[in-house]
């Protein structure tokens, strides 16, 4: 397929996010450009039909946000991504691809190379419902990333001692109880953040089960779990209904299903369900946090990492009231300070830390050592 020439738009509108669309389909490029124009707040500064032209376009047009298709002629998205970031390091790249096992693996590889997020394209333009979901998710992700780029700098959020719970009606202070389960909630930018936290925590992973809700479509979550196992050399898998929650095991909520916790015979097990989406999410962090609070109480330990929206805040209220400890990622190191920011603003975070300090703090709480 011959590729279309790069097109460029005029000067960016005031505070509009500068966007480049890279896709080998002229229909897809035109459709996305129309959606973003209708949504407002976006300036389409360039389009390209393959990775080769995208590199030149990125260098010339200086986009802040880039939508990058994976499957393209000449130079595909995986090959183009590092070249684009080298040409324009300040850009934030969202990878878009059809939902296949291979594309899920490539998308996660792209995240390790510097992409900030991913989005599954509908397999067919005739799938009206899927197209509507894709449009909504695309605009929400771009808007969240666009808002992050113009957010005024703030003073660092105060770090609250884990021995001094924030003022929350009905909440108790965290008890001096050994954590029995680590809960992680994340979304946009989450895979890399989860990697970093677990790598820093690795010496203590054998002591505690880890339950993760990362907003991802079905298929991606299984690949993500496999990646974590390979990366950490620790047992990790996509959770199944009825899985025992055991120390030294990482369980990832499957895309499209809520992951909660239940008990039987004094032991804890995974409970999956297909209930309604919460905060437009399934799996939802709120479901995990809420049910874990009922099962583990003050022995639960949770962290909320980078992500758009407010998923996790309602569940964090249950955890705090149960006496559990919650650590939130700070604004400076978050790709999008939506989820952790919501928890912090609600007064539910016992510590607010940069990404590079979270694993160390969790390790100290789990092992009882500050080293």
Residues designated as active site: 187, 215, 311
- Alpha-carbon span 58 to 81, nearest angstrom: 11
Q: Tally Cβ neighbours within 10 Å of residue 226.
A: 17
Report the DSSP beta bridge partners of residue 120. Answer: 97
| Residue pair 17/64 in contact by the 8 Å Cβ criterion | yes
* Sign of the alpha-carbon dihedral angle for 210, 119, 104, 274: positive
The order of strands in the sheet holding 17-22 is 7-8, 42-48, 17-22, 65-69, 92-98, 117-121
**CA nearest neighbour of 335 among 152, 153, 117, 62:** 117
| Residue pair 4/50 in contact by the 8 Å Cβ criterion | no
* Sign of the alpha-carbon dihedral angle for 284, 286, 289, 290: negative
DSSP annotation string for 267-308: EEEEEEE-PPPBTTBSS-HHHHHHHHHHHHGGGEEEEE-SBS
- Kindly give, in sequence order, each residue whose CB lies less than 8 Å from that of residue 313, ignoring residues fewer than 6 positions away: 286, 339, 342, 343, 346, 348
Q: Cα separations (Å) of 62 from 15, 18, 75, 236, 284?
A: 15, 8, 20, 39, 35
- Kindly give, in sequence order, each residue whose CB lies less than 8 Å from that of residue 125, ignoring residues fewer than 6 positions away: 27, 131
- Rg of the chain taking only CA atoms, in angstroms: 21
| Residue pair 49/68 in contact by the 8 Å Cβ criterion | no
- Alpha-carbon span 207 to 249, nearest angstrom: 9
């Amino acid at each position: 397929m011959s590729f279309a020439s790069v097109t460029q738009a005029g000067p960016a509108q005031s505070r509009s996010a500068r966007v480049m669309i890279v896709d080998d389909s002229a229909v897809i490029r035109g459709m996305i450009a129309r959606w973003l124009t209708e949504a407002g707040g976006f300036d389409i500064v360039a389009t390209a039909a393959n990775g080769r032209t995208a590199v030149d376009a990125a260098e010339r047009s200086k986009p802040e946000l880039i939508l990058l298709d994976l499957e393209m002629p000449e130079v595909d998205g995986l090959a183009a991504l590092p070249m684009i970031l080298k040409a324009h390091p300040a850009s934030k790249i969202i990878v878009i691809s059809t939902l296949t096992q291979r594309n899920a693996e490539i998308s996660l590889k792209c995240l390790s190379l510097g992409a900030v997020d991913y989005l599954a394209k509908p397999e067919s333009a005739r799938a009206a419902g899927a197209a509507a979901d894709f449009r909504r998710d695309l605009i929400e992700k771009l808007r969240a990333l666009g808002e992050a780029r113009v957010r005024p700098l703030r003073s660092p959020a105060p770090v609250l001692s884990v021995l001094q719970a924030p003022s929350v009606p009905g909440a108790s202070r965290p008890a001096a109880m050994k954590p029995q389960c680590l809960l992680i909630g994340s979304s946009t930018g989450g895979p890399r953040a989860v990697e970093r936290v677990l790598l820093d925590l690795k010496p203590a992973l054998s002591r505690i089960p880890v339950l993760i809700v990362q907003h991802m479509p079905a298929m991606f979550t299984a690949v993500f779990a496999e990646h974590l196992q390979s990366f950490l050399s620790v047992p990790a898998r996509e959770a199944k209904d009825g899985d025992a929650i055991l120390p030294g095991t990482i369980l990832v909520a499957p895309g499209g299903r809520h992951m909660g916790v239940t008990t039987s015979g004094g032991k804890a097990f995974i409970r999956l369900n297909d209930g309604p989406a919460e905060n437009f999410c399934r799996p939802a962090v709120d479901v995990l946090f809420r049910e874990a609070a009922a099962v583990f109480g003050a022995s639960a330990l949770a962290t909320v990492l980078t992500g758009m929206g407010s998923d996790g805040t309602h569940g964090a209220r249950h955890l705090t009231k149960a006496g559990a400890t919650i650590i939130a990622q700070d604004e400076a190191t978050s790709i999008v300070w939506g989820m952790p920011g919501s928890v912090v603003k609600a007064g539910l975070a016992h510590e607010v830390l940069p990404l590079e300090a979270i694993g160390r703090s969790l390790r100290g709480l789990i092992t009882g050592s500050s080293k």
